[in-house]
Structure 1
Amino acid sequence: MTSAILLTGGTGTLGRLVAPRLLASGAALRILSRQPQPAGAAAGGVAGEGVEYVTGDLTTGEGAAAAVAGADVIVHCAGTSKGDDVKTRHLVDAAAAAGKAHFVYISVVGADRTPVVSGLDRAMFGYVAAKRASEEIVAGSGLPWTTLRATQFHELTLTTARAMARMPVLPAPSGFRIQPIAAVEVADRLAELALAEPAGLVAEMGGPRTYDMKDLLRGYLKATGRRRPVMPMRLPGKAAAAFRAGANLTPDHAVGQQTWEEFLAAGRRPPGAPQTRP
């Protein structure tokens, strides 16, 4: 029997890679978007045949009920730097009212180990707190669910490095380490989980290597032929202390294959995503 799958964030870094994998399974795919999509729009580079686009705004909950109607599986990839928990609440409430769809959520490694207790913590690490709150919303929803935690994507790390390289001096949070992973590898796993039975909180996914933040930035500068000084900067707060202690790392689950150096050397995003220059 063909599953009906709702995908949020289907045009984002991860969602655009998950979409073609779900389509390849024979699923009927519905993609929730804040903006109306033209007829025949492509999902993740895959022709739009078999894809239905629906419009809604998870920040307000508008359109959520219509989006989840008839869905057997909901894959929630929509995410921003803040407010993820509000969006998750609106989607979960709509899904719970509609039935018992399998709810699949992508979270971040360290969501359960990073205390965000002050205004300063929230300003810098609010996204982690929102992910943790979303995990709790999903787990307490009464829906069958699966949550996967992953480390930072190469693609998002690249975006950060690019922005920092515009400055004359690159500030590197001292003591911070990062374990970047290819988004396409996470997409493979998330699609696999979406097509399987609900599994609760599954094993984390991390990249193959761990880097000091300063070394990761220097690697980017070298790969792009730039010269900039990298200045260590100690961040205050309990959340930053947790990151220095490795809360955002998962060395026992270093299952990723593509290294940061290989990603930069490729000079583009992984297959299925738009090409980009480092």
Structure 2
Amino acid sequence: MTTILVTGGTGTLGRLVTERLRTDGHEVRVLSRHTPPYAVDLREGGPRLDAAVAGVDTVVHCASTPRGGDEQAAANLVSAAREAGVRHLVHISIVGVDRVPFGYYRAKLAVEKLVEESGLGWTVLRATQFHDLLVQVLQTLAKVPVMVLPAGVSDQPVEVAEVADRLAELAAGPPAGRVDDLAGPEVRTFESLARAFLKASGRRCAVLNVPLWGASYRAFRAGGHLAPERAVGRGTFEEYLATRLRR
């Protein structure tokens, strides 16, 4: 089996990818900012990053933050991986990064380009938003008596465990370039998802759809972040909510 480094290996996705790979018999190193022995801030790079990638066959790049710095982090990772002779770099991206001019999406698209031009063998998988993230957003919106939603916007959430399974499969295989997107089983209006969340959590909250403005909103409303032709995910939002509430 191979030695695999998972960046962001303690996060929602990276933790599951790590579990799958170890179950399959791979030696896995977990890189995160605060977890020894590979506690590394990718935005800074340096000797600790070099040590983390030394002797690694494959890197699965799950580390990301909407707070900025993803491009610098990816550039440092690519440079260190090249120096270490890494064979395969697997990157998780988001459906619609090339169609929605949202700041975080633009950064993810720039990271894709860095990966593709790295000179390494590479694989890029785009997925739709995770159920976990959608619930975090809805929890925030439900803190006030009226839940204000972006009018006319739909979503296609996917189960993070299914994305982890696919990433682990790709990491164990040869470089494949840009692979088919992985999207959730249903395209749902944001209002229907919000009402499902309110019902499952027993919250009482009015729902108000409000038109927004700007290029990003227009792109989301047009479905630039959706992939109905790749609705291959199996876990529904209601199934996720039921499991989450049981926990």
In the alignment, structure 1 residue 220 sits paired with structure 2 residue 197: yes
* 2:50 matched residue in structure 1: 65
Q: Helix, strand or coil: the match of 2:223?
A: coil
Unaligned runs of 5+ in 2: none
Runs of at least 4 residues of structure 1 off by over 6 A? none
After superposition, where does 1:134-145 map in structure 2 within 5 Å? 134-145=111-122
Counterpart Cα distance in 2 of 1:173 and 1:131: 23
In the alignment, structure 1 residue 97 sits paired with structure 2 residue 83: yes
Counterpart Cα distance in 1 of 2:151 and 2:76: 37
Counterpart Cα distance in 2 of 1:224 and 1:145: 41
Q: 1:258 aligns with which of 227, 235, 238?
A: 235
In the alignment, structure 1 residue 8 sits paired with structure 2 residue 7: yes
Q: Helix, strand or coil: the match of 2:42?
A: coil
The RMSD of aligned alpha carbons is: 1.3
In the alignment, structure 1 residue 75 sits paired with structure 2 residue 60: yes
Shift of 1:235: 2.3
CA contact (8 A) 2:158 2:236 kept: yes
Q: Helix, strand or coil: the match of 2:141?
A: helix
Shift of 1:190: 0.4
Q: Helix, strand or coil: the match of 1:246?
A: coil
CA contact (8 A) 2:93 2:126 kept: yes
CA contact (8 A) 2:158 2:233 kept: yes
Q: 2:153 aligns with which of 151, 154, 176?
A: 176
> 69-78 or 55-64, which moves further after superposition?
55-64
Counterpart Cα distance in 2 of 1:97 and 1:30: 18
Shift of 1:143: 0.5
Counterpart Cα distance in 2 of 1:142 and 1:267: 41
Counterpart Cα distance in 2 of 1:207 and 1:16: 20
Counterpart Cα distance in 1 of 2:212 and 2:198: 23
* 1:120 matched residue in structure 2: none
Scaled by the length of structure 2, the TM-score of the pair is 0.95
Q: Higher helix fraction: Structure 1 or Structure 2?
A: 2
In the alignment, structure 1 residue 161 sits paired with structure 2 residue 131: no
Counterpart Cα distance in 1 of 2:211 and 2:18: 39
Counterpart Cα distance in 2 of 1:167 and 1:67: 44
Aligned residues: 245
Q: Helix, strand or coil: the match of 1:55?
A: coil
After superposition, where does 1:107-146 map in structure 2 within 5 Å? 107-115=93-101, 125-146=102-123
Q: 2:124 aligns with which of 131, 136, 147?
A: 147
Percent identity for Structure 1 against Structure 2: 49
Shift of 1:112: 1.3
